[in-house]
Amino acid sequence: MTHRREALLALLFALAVLAAAFAAPWLRFVLTLALAKGIAALGVMLLLRAGQVSFGHAMFVAFAAYAVAFLAGRVGDALLLLPLAMLLTSLLGLVIGLFVARYREIFFGMLNLALSMVFYSLLEKFYSITHGTDGMRVPAVTWAGMATERVGGEWAVLVAALVLAIGFALLARLYLASPLGEALQGIKTREARLEFMGLPPRRVLLVAYVLSAAMAGTAGALIALTTRHVTPLMGYWTASGELVFIVILGGAGGVLGPFLGAVAYELVRVYAAASVADAWQLILGAVLLAVILFARGGLFSLLRGRRA
């Protein structure tokens, strides 16, 4: 797809999000969550480019969300909280990345899963600090010093999510086109060749990992500011699976894919829950199967008009 067509598509997508949020107020919340999850899924997609599946990235989402919950009382402005949460999560990503970037495939996936389950258990265990499964309330925050009431706050976080989504999509596009980003493909196919080209595979993967953690952290901070209540469930392994789900649903072929996937995912879930409250998983699972079996490249490739 040409740059111009992709930019046009992104613009149309952003406008559609804003229009839908304007027309149906209850969708603001759902779409904000979708954009946030799209950002996290974009990070997961970067790792998929290297052939690595993380089944634990919800840990970074939950970490940032809890960071916001803890810090919001002290740092009361969203425009400070977002970069702060992003930074902290990147640091966590760096520490964990140094460890997991040595592993590949199932070991990479399972280590991420294990670490996320450890973090999830700690959120539940440190009951006196985190209130366990009850979760924590996120205090009200200001936006650039301005206090907002419910509707204003919802718009503020939606617009912030949209801006960050576009920003990260551009960043991801630049990154994937750079030598470091292109080297990701090499991890998937021939690692030895990377070494030969003077790019240590571990470092290539580590950069992608930290970037993906930063994106997941941004998503977590946005989700915390949207739901205003964080629970350990945000870090459970099924939430990580959801992110991978979103990438595949949307298609890993381009940076728009994860966002299309996230919006589709949230809407399918809302729709399924509204029509059959006790069998929504059945519907979601069936949709995913249908996409994998009949539209391999995800929604993005359908939009592009040819199969990846």
Partner 1 sequence: MGAWFADNGLLLGLALLDGLASAALIFLVAVGLNLVFGVLRVLNIAHGSLFAIGAYTAAGLGAALGSGALPAWAALGVLILAAALVGAVLGPLIERLLLRRIYAEENVLQLLVTFALFMMLEDVQKLVWGVQPVHHDAAMRLFGTFDVPFGSDFIPFTAYQLFVLPGIAVLVLVGLVWFLRSTLSGRMIVAVTTDREAATAIGINADRVYLLTFTAGAVLAALGGALASPTAAIVPGVGASTIVLSFAVVATAGLGRIEGAALTALMIGLGRSVAVYFFPEAEVLIPYLIMVAVLLVKPQGLFGTLETRRI
Partner 2 sequence: MGITRRDAVLGTAFGGLLLPSTLRAQPVQRPQELRIGITTFLSGPASVFGVPGRQAAEMLIDEINRGGGIGGVPIRPYFVDEGPGVEHLLGEFRRLVLNERVEVMLASISSGSCLACTPLAEELRRVTLLWDCGTQRIFEEKRYQYAFRTQANATPEVLAPLLYLLKRKPDFRTIAVLNQDYAWGRDSWELWRAGMQALKPDARVVAELFPRFGATDFSTEVTRLLALRPDVILSTSWGGELDTFIRQAAERRLFERSTFVMPLAESSLERVGRSLPAGHIVGSRGDHWFQHPAPADKARLDRFVNNYRQRFNSYPIYPTYHMYQALSALQAAYAKAMAGNGGNWPNEQQLAAAFPGLEFDSPTARMTIREDGQGLEPQLIGTSRHTDALPFATLSDMIVFPPELVTAPVGRNSVEWLRGLSRDILDRVPAPAG
Residues forming contacts to partner 1 in the complex (CB under 8 A) are 48, 51, 53, 55, 102-103, 105-107, 109-111, 113-115, 117-118, 121, 125, 189-190, 237-238, 241, 244-245, 248, 278-282, 284-286, 288-289, 292-293, 296
Q: Quick check: 235 and 59 in contact, CB under 8 A?
A: yes
Footprint (CB under 8 A) of partner 2, residues 18-47: 19-27, 29-30, 33
Q: Which member of 8, 73, 107, 133 binds partner 2 (CB under 8 A)?
A: 133
User: Of 12 and 276, which CB lies nearer to partner 1 in the complex structure?
Assistant: 276
Coil vs helix vs strand at 104 = coil
User: Of 64 and 248, which CB lies nearer to partner 1 in the complex structure?
Assistant: 248
CA 179 – CA 270 distance, rounded (Å): 40
User: Of 33 and 160, which CB lies nearer to partner 2 in the complex structure?
Assistant: 33
| Secondary element (H or E) of residue 121 | helix 105-125
CA 266 – CA 298 distance, rounded (Å): 15
Characterize the bridge pairing of strands 136-137 and 229-230: antiparallel
Q: Does 12 bind partner 2 (CB under 8 A)?
A: no
Q: Which region holds residue 131: left if phi is over 0, alpha if psi is between -120 and 50, else beta?
A: left
Structural tokens at position 195: 């070494």
Q: Which member of 134, 174, 197, 307 binds partner 2 (CB under 8 A)?
A: 134
Q: Which member of 73, 127, 147, 193 binds partner 2 (CB under 8 A)?
A: 127
Give which of 243, 263, 261, 272 is closest to 297, Cα–Cα: 261
User: Of 278 and 306, which CB lies nearer to partner 2 in the complex structure?
Assistant: 278
The option from partner 2, partner 1, none interacting with 234 (CB < 5 to 8 A, set by class) reads: partner 2
The option from partner 1, partner 2, none interacting with 286 (CB < 5 to 8 A, set by class) reads: partner 1
Binding characters for partner 2, 230-269, by CB under 8 A (x = yes): xx-xx-------------------------------xx-x
CA 91 – CA 274 distance, rounded (Å): 40
Give which of 124, 120, 86, 118 is closest to 99, Cα–Cα: 118
